Copies of this chain bind each other. A is one copy, B any other.
């Protein structure tokens, strides 16, 4: 809490403490809940999302109306909107998570030690997961489902503009949990729109084991700064494709085009194309018109501008920028070393890909590029939980600690050591 504490902040703090206590109690039960019960809860929730969709649409209409009155940007309104297709997708998501293998309780590496004890590890939930996100109500359902299946309790804080939608979704969750005889507080939504609630949430390490912020950079920076517990976070996605001079040029063109244009606003979209000097002419002869034809603005180095008048000059700042827009940075490099150095200096350790037919260079790129996803001959757009087989993701981590890259069920768990003996004692 800030130095000047108002009565309302004190009240919110007390409410959040209650929320935390309930979550901790629910987490203890969820940690040992049977897979069958957790799956049943997910199916019951899916059923209620569909059977209760009129209520969801009415709640959502309230949010949309308020959004329009508050002149919310069109893109935000779009994210906020629920419709029958989106509700169906949320329900499908529940069934998909139910179909995933339960990571909790899995025992690995159990083996005998010279002392005679048997030592192994058992996968366990993290405990209470706090998720702070903006706009999209479907995040409520997706994130809660992953936490539920991985045996965690969750505390969700969505954008205030989606509050009614989120509360309606939460009601389905609560009913689904109760139908499966699991604690209803295993999923809780923060019901106040007051920003002080976020501050209170971030100050309760005794009740919240990890925080996952999902949203704009401002949110993530605030959470990283204030959180007194670990944060699974995703900062920039400044992703690169490096076209090596031993690339198959058809593959190179297809990957570089797909990585930039398949979707502009996602974190795994390529923001900077690096091309080896020896193949710059044939590669760019094909790619530049394709990008321009698609409406992509290209900002390139001097060498590239000498080849194509349509390329605008790139500033130093451009190479540090995640555009999330139809703009592309371009640099012609001498070869692999310069490409790796560029990625090391300007990249955000999210996702980087090399296009090459050369095995030695592919092996070097895989080893030396220190990003959460490193690819060979594939589009950066593949970097997500569904494509990786995690079923869904609670977020993509650009940190190295704990979870890296897409965070699914396993990223929401930890491992404890287990030791089995027959009366073993330690000798001096």
Contacts and interface: CB of A to CB of B under 8 A. Distances in A.
Determine the main DSSP class of A at the interface with B: mixed
A272 B346 CA distance: 54
B31 A401 contact: no
A251 B377 CA distance: 59
A412 B373 CA distance: 19
A370 interface: yes
Contacts of A122: 366-367, 374
Contacts of A377: 420-424
Contacts of A381: 425-426
A417 B383 contact: yes
Interface in A15-37: 28, 31-32
Given A416-B404, A417-B404, A424-B382, A115 B387 contact: yes
A374 B254 contact: no
Contacts of A401: 126, 209-210, 230, 401-402, 414
B417 A374 contact: yes
Nearest to A425: B258
A387 to B, nearest CB: 6
A39 interface: no
A419 B366 CA distance: 9
Interface residues of A, number: 68
Interface string A393-428: 000000111101110000000111111111111101
B376 A420 contact: yes
Interface string A325-360: 000000000000000000010000000010100000
26 contacts: A28-B344, A28-B370, A31-B368, A115-B382, A117-B387, A119-B387, A119-B388, A127-B400, A230-B402, A254-B423, A255-B423, A257-B425, A262-B426, A366-B418, A371-B416, A373-B419, A374-B419, A375-B419, A376-B420, A377-B420, A377-B421, A381-B425, A382-B426, A400-B414, A401-B402, A406-B417
A379 B424 contact: yes
Interface in A141-198: none
A376 to B, nearest CB: 5
A374 B418 contact: yes
A425 B255 CA distance: 6
Contacts of A420: 375-378
Q: Which 4 A-B pairs have the closest CB atoms?
A: A251-B423, A378-B421, A258-B425, A381-B426
Contacts of A117: 378, 382, 387
A248 interface: yes
Interface in A210-260: 210, 230, 248, 250-251, 254-255, 257-259
Contacts of A127: 370, 400
A105 interface: yes
A389 interface: yes
Contacts of A416: 370-374, 404-405
A254 B373 contact: no
A76 to B, nearest CB: 23
